[in-house]
Chain A
Amino acid sequence: MSATQDIKPADTVGIGREASEKQSRKEAARSDALGFDPSAPLLEVEDLHVEFRTREGVAHAINGASFSLSEGETLGILGESGSGKSVTAQAIMGILDSPPAFVTGGQVRLRGVDLLTLPEESRRLVRADRVAMVFQDALSSLNPVFTVGHQLAEPFRIHRGYSKQEARKEAASLLDLVGIPAASGRVHDYPHQFSGGMRQRVMIAMALALDPDVLIADEPTTALDVTVQAQIMKLLADLQAERNMGLILITHDMGVVADVADKICVMYAGRIVERADVHSTYGNPAHPYTKALLESIPRVDLKGQQLATIEGLPPNLTRLPDGCSFEPRCSWARERCRVDDPPLYDVGAGRQSACHYYEEVLGS
Chain B
Amino acid sequence: MTEPAHATPDRAASAGHGEMVVSVRDAVKHFPITQGIVFQKTIGHVRAVDGVSFDLHRGETLGVVGESGCGKSTLSRVIMGLIPASSGSVNLLGDELVGMRERDLRKVRRNVQIIFQDPYASLDPRMTVGGIVGEPFRIHPDFAPRGDRRGKVQELLEVVGLNPEHINRYPHQFSGGQRQRIGIARALALRPQIIVCDEPVSALDVSVQAQVVNLLERLQEEFDLSYIFVAHDLSVVRHISDRIAVMYLGKIVEIGDETQIYEHPTHPYTQALLSAVPVPDPALRGRREQIVLTGDVPSPANPPSGCRFRTRCFKAQDICAEKEPALVSRDGSVQPSACHFAKELDVIHATR
Contacts and interface: CB of A to CB of B under 8 A. Distances in A.
Given A198-B296, A258-B279, A297-B280, A307 B213 contact: yes
B297 to A, nearest CB: 8
Nearest to B258: A303
A226 B232 contact: yes
B296 A296 contact: no
Interface stretch (A132-140, A167-175, A249-257, A356-364): A249-257
B280 A298 contact: no
Interface stretch (A23-31, A105-113, A227-235): A227-235
A231 B278 contact: no
Given A226-B273, A230-B290, A303-B239, A309 B282 contact: no
A231 B290 CA distance: 11
Which of B213, B276, B283 has the most C-beta atoms of chain A within 10 angstroms of its own C-beta?
B276
Query: Chain A contact residues: over half helix, strand or loop, or mixed?
Result: helix
B231 to A, nearest CB: 11
Contacts of B67: 225-228
B294 to A, nearest CB: 8
Contacts of B275: 230
B276 A226 contact: yes
A33 B157 CA distance: 62
Interface in B296-321: 296
Interface size class of B (residues with CB under 8 A): 35 or more
A296 B212 CA distance: 11
B206 interface: yes
Contacts of B234: 226
Contact of A227 (B272, B283, B285): B272
Contacts of A257: 280
Contacts of A229: 276, 278
B205 A80 contact: yes
B282 A296 contact: no
A198 B293 CA distance: 14
A282 B278 CA distance: 14
Nearest to A195: B296
A296 B280 contact: no
Given A231-B292, A234-B292, A252-B205, A298 B278 contact: no
Nearest to A261: B282
B235 A297 contact: yes
A226 B258 CA distance: 19
B273 A80 contact: no
Interface residues of A, number: 46
B217 interface: yes
A282 B214 contact: no
A296 B210 contact: yes
Given A255-B280, A293-B206, A298 B239 contact: yes
Nearest to B274: A226
Nearest to A298: B239
Contacts of B294: 231
B273 to A, nearest CB: 6
A296 B278 contact: no
Contact of B207 (A279, A292, A300): A292
Contacts of A330: none
A227 B206 contact: no
Contacts of A259: 278-279, 282, 285
B206 A254 contact: yes
Interface string A278-299: 1100110000000011101111
A254 B280 contact: yes
B235 A309 contact: no
Contacts of B24: none
A321 interface: no
Contacts of A233: 278
Interface string B175-188: 11100000000000
A34 interface: no
B91 interface: no
B206 A296 contact: yes
Given A80-B206, A296-B207, A282 B282 contact: yes
Contacts of B258: 303
B349 to A, nearest CB: 10
A95 interface: no
A306 interface: yes
Contacts of A1: none
B175 A313 contact: yes
Interface of B: 67-68, 175-177, 205-211, 213-214, 217, 232, 234-236, 238-239, 258, 262, 272-273, 275-283, 285, 290, 292-294, 296
18 contacts: A80-B207, A197-B296, A225-B67, A225-B232, A226-B276, A227-B67, A230-B290, A252-B206, A254-B280, A255-B277, A279-B283, A282-B280, A296-B206, A296-B210, A300-B262, A302-B239, A307-B239, A313-B177
10 closest cross-chain pairs (CB), A and B: A255-B278, A298-B239, A310-B207, A307-B210, A230-B276, A80-B205, A296-B210, A225-B67, A254-B280, A226-B276
